[in-house]
A and B are shown apart, each in its own frame.
Chain A
Amino acid sequence: MNGLLTIAGRTLRSRLILGTGGFDNHEVLAEALAASGAELCTVALRRLDPGARGSILDVLTDTGVEVLPNTAGCFTARDAVITAQLAREAFQTDWIKLEVIGDDRTLLPDAVELVAAAEQLVDDGFVVLPYTTDDPVLARRLEDVGCAAVMPLGSPIGSGMGIRNPYNISIMAERAGVPVVLDAGVGTASDAALAIELGCDAVLCASAISRAENPVAMASAIRMAVEAGALARAAGRIPRRHYAQASTPEEGIPVFDAPGAS
């Protein structure tokens, strides 16, 4: 694993993608973006609010971060496809973080609608990055229809529950022919490091940073965790063992015999 992440031919130096949801205001977002080192961040589309002060796009232009629009809030392939097409118009990018939600309590993806939407969007020329479950078979289906990456959840969006099935995430990372981006569930820095150690190519993180007590400090922490995870993975971890393996040589251990000692 080198220092660069390549998705659909685009090279990114940072393996951290920032989700912009949940920040209290644009000022904190701008500071967190800078602290995160992210070169790509998500944005969403909603009915235009004539009373809104300032655009998030001004913040992003000032910080030089590029946008990855999402289809958040879509429950059907039809709505997700229309939303993606609107995002392409609004942001002048073919890249789309595809979300098709199947349940409003868990916000888990709807696998059937997701694959259908992904296929239509790929055919329409989009670079599709789908938010998906931690199912290696579904990841393969998404790859087969032409997605540029797969973005499995570690646990539900905003739950901060970390990676509940590290085994599946590592299988996905091992088998995928496209980058794997851990996309939900990160609660703190160690979760992000684990994602990369398990083989993910990048981490997308919103709530863990935006809703932290100190979002800017957490952005730095998660940036370092992602870098640490990449270094650790490249360095090669030791195998897990059931029993201890002494690190000090056993050869030359002295024997403290004394005459008369029992």
Chain B
Amino acid sequence: MKLKEHWETLTWTWNPKSLRESSDSVVRNLMLHWFPAKVSRQSLSFRYSFWLGTITAVLFFILCITGFILMFLYVPSVERAYPSMKDIEFVASFGRFTRAVHRISAHLMVVAVFLHMMRAFLTAAYKNGLSANQKRPVNWIIGVVLLLLTLLLSFTGYLLPWDQLAYWAITVGTNIARAVPLIGEQIRFVLLGGNEIDQNTLLRFYVLHCFVLPGAVLLLFSWHMWRVRKDGGLACVDRLARDEKEKNSAPIKAKTYSLLGITSGHNVHVETSYIDEDEHLVESSPNLTRRLLLVILATLFLTSLLAYVVQAPLEQAANPLVTPNPAKAPWYFLWLQELVADTTIHLGSYTISGAFIGGVLVPGLLALLLAAWPYLDRSTVNATGVWFAKERQRQNMIFLAIVLLVILLTFVGTFMRGPSWHLYWPWQAWPETPTRF
């Protein structure tokens, strides 16, 4: 009996028999307490959000768990990093599988975060709706920072195997940091812990990768989720509220579980929405929890399957003396590598390096523009939470054009650049080039 009670504090009922039992599990359970007791059917819909944020979070937790395991097996020293990678690959039981899951989850997380951002943009999920106290633009900016942190996590993780790919990707990356005007040289010095990529650099990237950046992601992720709750759920709920408002002139008398609305001095009717609860809301347990578990299962299944199919590569040990030809950054940075290779400008005798234009200016401006977009978007509240809203057609087109350009540049960098960064068709064979001379 006692054991059963303990078990019940850790779990929740799969099949609640009453409304009370359902909301009770949300209140009682640590893992569920951040869900609302009831949630709208629209925000559970796969077709609206594709559950991309949830998938991203699941991937992040998979990365944390596999990362912890790998931390026990990996030694962050110049002498032993590469040999310990070999041990993970060929000696440790399931070491290769663990590393493959970690790597494939990292790649998928970059994809998922990017798609999640696209979804939020195309549905104008960064716009406030009719409810009071919404700060969706703030949550969008948190999301943009999370996107950048995800890329930084990938970048710092890249150096750790200490193979050729790692070494030269970091050489290119930190030299881009050097192209920052005025303080570039100092940034690079602190990032590398010296003038060369060496022990200091490896340790710095290791600590950033394993502690600083994941910690920042966890913090911002919590904030992100908290804001979603404070903003009244996904943006599609606001569309629902708008439609309902047109139908019923007076707000529906809502059941007041929004005590916060009273304490902060607002009218309860403002806080609770125009939505007819009985018609549109369902209990979070089991409707949300069941879908959540399904998404977790699907993501786990996908990463495990892909990890078996796609093995994580390990190139030759890092050699500061020999640059591989071609030397490519990871695929999600290849659009940047393509940019730094194409954007050196000569104005008479004056030259602006592509490292600055393609590596600092363009991505910096893109990130700023992305973060500031909610404040530039002049569309009405009617566009909130609507896929491809008519009045946002033009900005959606511009956004998609930029996304397409990034994908195109990534494609060219990945499949069409051969030795010495020459252009080749994807099906064209590369000429034999000596790797040493």
Query: Do A and B assemble together?
Result: no
Residues of chain B touching chain A, judged by Cβ–Cβ distance below 8 Å, are: none
